[in-house]
């Protein structure tokens, strides 16, 4: 067993005085020497944290001991080293930004699509009356996606509500949504139900759980993750690579962030183009005065704008 773990989780359950909770929770995470990123809102928690096995186990115990979060499911990865540099715990209006804060429209704590366990998703996904719907952003599904899935041209999840009219043609089908860990599907499926879609499902635990429990069969490519790994392997049954270099077009599984901090585009890029462009998405970005040193990974710790401007 490796010395470190990375935990991915979310929980839709109301939090009173959420801003104060976020401040207190940050102190608690730091006391365990955890690193990661947690979003706190009145509607719940959304986090990825990383640290020693002992610290992560203590963290999971603490979350489960709080009655509000007792049912929280953790997706656990063993890692060689912590997958973040710093610890952030921030209060926001939503734990995943949809732009829809009216709980009469969507409230995942009360109504959402039927949860499909990975084995049931595997059995159902190829049926003729089923549409597999990817609710993630472009840069995520360009790196990897389920075979025959419908992908949407969206830059952020907050663009998803605008796609509802385009999905109307599929109202007679069983729609199964999926995302990385399940959190976006809670809101996406709830919104579909609100707009009159009747047979709405979601992959419980997302791509990550599917990979762990069903071998990741027919997930093509790699799965984008929101830490310094940038991507992880999912498919142990019939793996393939579907992503292509943003610059030259050759097949590559490598995802980077552009080294220009004001661009920071999420792109797939081969090692040769990464070296030639110093980790940038274009020659224009290579001339930026605050160009970040490219070390081959394409991952950069975010620097506050106040520091960047000095």
The catalytic residues are 179
Phi first, then psi, for residue 204 (nearest 5°) are -65, 125
User: Within the chain, where are the H helices?
Assistant: 18-31, 53-65, 118-124, 138-143, 164-167, 183-194, 206-214, 271-276, 305-308
Query: Which tokens belong to 252?
Result: 């590559």
| Secondary structure (H, E, C), 57-118 | HHHHHHHHHCHHHCCCCCEEEEECCCCCCCEEEEECCCCCCCCCCCCCCCCCCCCCCEEECH
CA 26 – CA 33 distance, rounded (Å): 11
Q: How far apart are CA 163 and CA 172, in angstroms?
A: 17
Say if residues 81 and 170 touch (Cβ distance below 8 Å). Answer: no
Q: Which two tokens stand for residue 210?
A: 């599917």
- Residue labelled with tokens 């059995």: 123
Torsion of CA 87, 158, 153, 75, to 10 degrees: 40
- The span from the CA of 15 to the CA of 225, in Å, is 26
Two tokens at 178?
A: 């999926």
């Amino acid at each position: 067993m490796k010395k470190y773990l990375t935990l991915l989780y979310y929980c839709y359950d109301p939090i009173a005085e959420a801003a104060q909770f976020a401040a207190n929770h940050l102190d608690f995470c730091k006391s365990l020497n955890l690193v990661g990123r947690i979003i706190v809102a009145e509607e719940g928690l959304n986090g990825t944290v990383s640290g020693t096995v002992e610290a992560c186990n203590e963290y999971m115990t603490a979350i489960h001991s709080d009655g509000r979060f007792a049912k929280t499911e953790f997706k656990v990865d063993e890692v060689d080293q912590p997958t973040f540099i710093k610890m952030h715990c921030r209060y926001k209006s939503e734990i995943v930004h949809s732009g829809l804060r009216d709980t009469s429209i969507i409230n995942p704590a009360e109504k959402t699509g039927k949860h499909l366990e990975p084995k049931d998703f595997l059995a159902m996904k190829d049926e003729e009356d089923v549409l597999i719907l990817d609710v993630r952003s472009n840069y995520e599904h360009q790196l990897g996606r389920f075979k025959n899935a419908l992908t949407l041209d969206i830059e952020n999840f907050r663009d998803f509500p605008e796609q509802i009219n385009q999905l109307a043609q599929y109202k007679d089908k069983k729609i199964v949504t999926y995302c990385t860990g399940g959190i976006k599907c809670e809101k996406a499926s709830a919104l579909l139900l609100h707009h009159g879609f009747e047979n709405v499902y979601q992959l419980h635990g997302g791509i990550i759980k599917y990979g762990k429990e069903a071998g990741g069969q027919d997930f093509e490519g790699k799965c984008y993750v929101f830490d310094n790994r940038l991507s992880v392997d999912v498919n142990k049954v019939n793996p393939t690579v579907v992503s292509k270099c943003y610059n030259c077009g050759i097949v590559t599984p490598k995802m980077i962030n552009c080294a220009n901090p004001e661009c920071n585009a999420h792109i797939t890029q081969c090692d040769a183009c990464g070296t030639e462009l110093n980790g940038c998405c274009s020659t224009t970005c290579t001339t930026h005065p605050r160009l970040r040193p490219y070390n081959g990974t394409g991952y950069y710790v975010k620097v506050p704008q106040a520091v960047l401007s000095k």
